[in-house]
Amino acid sequence: MKVFNRAYGKIKESAAVEYLEKTLKYKIIECNYSNKIGEIDIIAKDGKVLVFVEVKARETARYGLGREAVDWRKQSKIRQVASLYLQSHHANSSMVRFDVIDILGDNITHISNAF
């Protein structure tokens, strides 16, 4: 089951990248960035704003929406990973934002400035 979940996640992350690039005209900087604290699914530029994007995908809403899984613990971890990214890339003065892409089946919901 874990292999299926990982493969499904990669497919949906690719769909999120395509959506960000083609629909919203974001410039993708990096996918699956990881450091000693954790991982960020997508790092992109929206104009001058550096955007850290968490992608959550579900086949059905049976167990809730993906965005509901981005609770305060997950948000805290993403912020910590982003902070290290900014330090290591000397981008501390960049304007940053945290977005969530929630994919339910084939429907994409983009939540800009989610937290």
Check if the beta carbon of residue 67 is closer than 8 Å to that of residue 37.
no
- What tokens appear for 30 in the block? 């990096």
Check if the beta carbon of residue 106 is closer than 8 Å to that of residue 59.
no
* 2-111 belongs to CATH 3.40.1350.10: yes
pTM of the model: 0.90
**What per-residue confidence (pLDDT) applies to 4?**
55
Domain ranges of the chain: 2-111
Per-residue pLDDT of the chain (115 residues; tens, 9 = 90+): 455 577 888 899 999 999 999 999 999 999 999 999 999 999 999 999 999 999 999 988 888 899 999 999 999 999 999 999 999 998 877 799 999 999 999 999 999 999 9
Which among 54, 109, 45, 110 has a CA at the least distance from the CA of 79? 54
